[in-house]
Amino acid sequence: MNRFEDDILQSMPQLKEMPYDLPEGYFDSLKKELQTEVRQNTLQPQFRQKLASYLSLAAMFVMIVAAGGFFLEKSTEKQELTQEDFLIFSDDFLYLTYYESDAEASAGIEEEDIIEYLIYTGVSADSIEHYKQ
Amino acid sequence: MTNNEIIRLQQAGELEKAFNGIVETYTERLYWHVRRFLCSHEDTNDLLQDIFIKIWRSLSSFRGESQLYTWVYRIATNETLNHLRKQRRNSIIEMCSLSDIMAQRIDDDPYFNGNEMQRELHKAIQRLPEKQRLVFNMRYFDDLKYEDIAEITGTSVGALKASYHHACTKIKTDMENIFL
């Protein structure tokens, strides 16, 4: 090594010292800050994982409810169609239904009133007699 | 906490404890290592936090192929040099040299408490090329071995010795011009 380093850089130990002050307690607070930051960094992924699992559970629940609702709707729809089909294609049932409902509808109404109504709506007397039999 | 204790914790998967050990052991050394390059307490404080976050994120991948302290220094050095390169790009835009900006920072630093010789030494260091500054700081201030500096910087020991010699010569010339 040359003379200057021997004379200056090596012979003046204070040159090796850092000529700067620091805010009071800086290193202690920095260490705490770093350790806290990392703890949060460590916890955050755990929280994210938990949140993701809760969200996937919620999504699964929603899917199950939606699928259940869809199938329920389908089966209800099918039931209604079956009844309609039954009503449309079974004349006997319709006939029976007609009479049943007619009997129910005409409950408490006098026969004379019905005949008057039928004459009023243009039904012939022969037809009335025929249905009466 | 010793380096071996930190490594044992890291290998046992106790990463948070290992990290806390690194923080306890290296915060001050890394602070001054970075501060010598950035010449600003605020910038050093910000960058040091980034460095430790990087250390934390890389800790699980530390395989013990290098010494712990050269691994820690390598991360700190790379981050610091990257930061300086960004500052250099900004200084080009502002049409002034980075060494002038650093010299101004040293002059304006409210935390400076040294004498004129110390002030001029730190300004002279800022005028060195990057590699010479790197080896001078680690050799002169931190007393690191050339072999360890070689591991940190990825440079051969011979090249480092040559760089250190050139750095000392330039600093000597600068100081002589000012004080003799």
- pLDDT tens per residue, range A51-104: 666 777 888 888 888 888 887 777 666 555 555 555 544 444 444 444 455 656
**With an 8 Å Cβ cutoff, is B114 touching chain A?**
yes
**% of chain B beyond a pLDDT of 70:** 99
Give domain limits for chain B.
Answer: 1-113, 115-180
In a domain, A2, yes or no: no
**Residue-range definition of the domain harbouring residue A98:** 91-133
Question: How many Å apart are CA A38 and CA A55, to the nearest integer?
Answer: 26
Question: How many Å apart are CA B170 and CA B56, to the nearest integer?
Answer: 38
Query: Cβ-count burial of B135 within 10 angstroms (0-12 exposed, 13-18 middle, 19+ buried)?
Result: buried
Question: CA torsion B62→B67→B71→B77, rounded to 10°?
Answer: 180
Decide: helix, strand or coil at residue B112: strand
Whether residue A54 is found in the same domain as residue A84: yes
In a domain, A73, yes or no: yes
Decide: helix, strand or coil at residue A20: strand
- Contacts of the segment B31-35: beta carbons below 8 A, 24+ positions apart: B31/A27, B31/A30, B32/A18, B32/B141, B33/B73, B33/B76, B33/B77, B33/B80, B33/B137, B33/B138, B33/B142, B34/B76, B34/B80, B35/A18, B35/A20
Structure tokens at A74: 């389908």
> How large is the average pLDDT for residues A104-116?
74
Whether residue A80 is found in the same domain as residue A103: no
Give residue B54's pLDDT band: very low, low, confident or very high (50, 70, 90): very high
For A43-52, B44-53, B66-75, B114-123, which range has the lowest pLDDT when averaged over its residues?
A43-52
- DSSP code string of B137-149: IIIIIT---HHHH
- Of B13 and B92, the one with more pLDDT: B13
pLDDT value at position A102? 60
Question: How many Å apart are CA B177 and CA B72, to the nearest integer?
Answer: 37
In a domain, A36, yes or no: no
For A39-43, A61-65, A68-72, B145-149, which range has the lowest pLDDT when averaged over its residues?
A39-43
Whether residue A84 is found in the same domain as residue A71: yes
Whether residue A97 is found in the same domain as residue A132: yes
| DSSP E strands, B76-178 | none
**% of chain A beyond a pLDDT of 70:** 59
Question: How many Å apart are CA B175 and CA B180, to the nearest integer?
Answer: 8
In a domain, A117, yes or no: yes
pLDDT value at position A94? 46
**With an 8 Å Cβ cutoff, is A25 touching chain B?**
no
Contacts of B35 in chain A (CB under 8 A): 18, 20
Contacts of B112 in chain A (CB under 8 A): 19-21
**With an 8 Å Cβ cutoff, is B4 touching chain A?**
no
Is A41 in Cβ contact with B112 (below 8 Å)?
no
pLDDT value at position A80? 55
> How large is the average pLDDT for residues B79-84?
94
Q: Using an 8 Å Cβ cutoff, are A128 and A119 in contact?
A: yes
pLDDT value at position B136? 96
Q: Using an 8 Å Cβ cutoff, are B109 and A20 in contact?
A: yes
Query: Cβ-count burial of B119 within 10 angstroms (0-12 exposed, 13-18 middle, 19+ buried)?
Result: middle
In a domain, A20, yes or no: no
Residue from the list A9, A19, A35 with its beta carbon closest to the beta carbon of B168: A9
Residue B161 to residues A12, B54, B168: CA-CA distances in angstroms? 22, 30, 11
Q: Complex ipTM, two decimals?
A: 0.83
> How large is the average pLDDT for residues A104-118?
75
Contacts of B32 in chain A (CB under 8 A): 18
Contacts of A2 in chain B (CB under 8 A): 168-169, 172
Whether residue A109 is found in the same domain as residue A125: yes
- Domain total of chain A: 2
- Of B165 and B93, the one with more pLDDT: B165
**% of chain A beyond a pLDDT of 90:** 13
B1-113 fold: Rna Polymerase Sigma Factor; Chain: A (1.10.1740)
What CATH number matches the domain at B115-180, 3.40.50.2300, 1.10.10.10, 1.10.260.40, 3.60.60.10? 1.10.10.10
Structure tokens at B84: 């300086």
Decide: helix, strand or coil at residue B92: helix
In a domain, A121, yes or no: yes
Question: How many Å apart are CA B112 and CA A67, to the nearest integer?
Answer: 72
